Amino acid sequence: MSGYILALDQGTTSSRAILYDAHMRPVKMTQRATHLHTPQAGYVEQDAKEIWQTQISCAHDVINQAGLLATDISSIAITNQRESIVIWDKQTGKPLAPAIIWQDRRTEAACKKMAADDSIEDVQRITGLRLDPYFSASKIAWLLRNHPNIKARAAKGHIAVGTIDSWLIHQLTGGAHVMDITNASRTLLFDINQLTWSDALCARFDIPMSMLPEVLPSDGDFGKTKKGLFSKQIPIHAVLGDQQAALLGQGCLEAGMAKNTYGTGCFMLMNIGNVPKLSEHRLLTTIAWQKQPSTASERSSLEQLMQTGKRMLHANKPKREVTYALEGSVFMAGAVVQWLRDNLGLVKESCDIEALANEVDSSESVVLLPAFTGLGAPHWRSDVSASISGMTRGTTRAHIARAALESIAYQTYDVLVAMQKDSPHALTELRVDGGAANNNLLMQFQADLLGVPVLRPKDIEITARGAALLAGLKTGLYDERIMRDSWQVERTFEPNMSDDVRDAHVDKWQRAIDCALHTI
pLDDT at residue 206 in the model:
93
Residue 407 inside a domain? The answer is yes
Q: Which domain holds residue 67?
A: 4-250
pLDDT at residue 383 in the model:
81
Same-domain pairing of 79 and 208: yes
- Between CA 177 and CA 392 the distance in angstroms is 56
Helix axis angle for 48-65 and 164-173, nearest 10°, is 60
Residues 6+ apart with CB under 8 A from 455: 429, 430, 431, 432, 489, 491, 492, 493
Same-domain pairing of 349 and 496: yes
Q: Each residue's pLDDT tens digit in the chain (520 positions)?
A: 579 999 999 998 899 999 999 988 999 999 999 999 999 988 999 999 999 999 999 999 999 999 999 999 999 999 999 999 999 999 899 999 999 999 898 999 898 888 887 667 789 999 999 888 989 999 999 999 998 888 889 888 899 999 999 999 999 999 999 999 999 999 999 999 999 999 999 999 999 999 999 999 999 999 999 999 999 999 999 999 999 999 999 988 888 889 998 888 888 999 999 988 898 888 999 999 998 865 443 444 334 434 444 444 444 444 448 999 999 988 888 888 989 999 999 998 888 999 999 999 999 999 999 988 788 788 878 788 889 999 999 999 999 999 999 999 999 999 988 888 888 777 888 999 888 899 999 999 999 999 999 999 987 778 999 999 999 999 999 987 887 777 888 999 999 999 999 999 999 999 999 988 877 5
**Alpha carbon 202 to chain centroid distance?**
23
Q: Which H or E run includes 55?
A: helix 48-65
Q: Which H or E run includes 385?
A: none
- Between CA 201 and CA 198 the distance in angstroms is 5
pLDDT at residue 320 in the model:
47
pLDDT at residue 520 in the model:
58
Given 203, 228, 250, which residue is the final one in a domain? 250
pTM of the model: 0.85
- Between CA 278 and CA 286 the distance in angstroms is 9
Residue 256 inside a domain? The answer is no
Given 250, 274, 292, which residue is the final one in a domain? 250
CA dist 447 to 266, 403, 420, Å? 15, 16, 16
Q: Which amino acid is at 81?
A: Q
Tell me, what CATH number does 473's domain have? 3.30.420.40
Same-domain pairing of 244 and 340: no
Residue 309 inside a domain? The answer is no
- Between CA 305 and CA 297 the distance in angstroms is 13
pLDDT at residue 118 in the model:
65
- Between CA 236 and CA 210 the distance in angstroms is 24
Same-domain pairing of 388 and 511: yes
Indicate the pairing of strand 322-330 with strand 266-273.
antiparallel
How many residues can be counted in the chain? 520
pLDDT at residue 311 in the model:
44
Q: Which amino acid is at 169?
A: I
Residue 281 inside a domain? The answer is no
User: In the 3-class helix/strand/coil scheme, how is 421-467 assigned residue by residue?
Assistant: HHCCCCCCCEEEECHHHHCHHHHHHHHHHHCCCEEEECCCCHHHHHH
pLDDT tens string 364-414:
999 999 988 788 788 878 788 889 999 999 999 999 999 999 999 999 999
> Nearest-CA neighbor of 166 among 78, 250, 246, 91?
78
Same-domain pairing of 246 and 350: no
Given 250, 284, 302, which residue is the final one in a domain? 250
pLDDT at residue 321 in the model:
82
Same-domain pairing of 198 and 51: yes
Residue 340 inside a domain? The answer is yes
pLDDT at residue 119 in the model:
67
Residue 214 inside a domain? The answer is yes
- Between CA 301 and CA 278 the distance in angstroms is 30
Residue 225 inside a domain? The answer is yes
Q: Which amino acid is at 51?
A: I
pLDDT at residue 385 in the model:
86
Residue 16 inside a domain? The answer is yes
pLDDT at residue 331 in the model:
81
pLDDT tens string 156-172:
889 999 999 999 999 99
Same-domain pairing of 356 and 224: no
- Produce one character per residue of 279-302: b if its CB has 16 or more CB atoms within 10 Å, e if not: bebbbbbbbbbbbbbeeeeeeebb
Domain count, the chain: 2
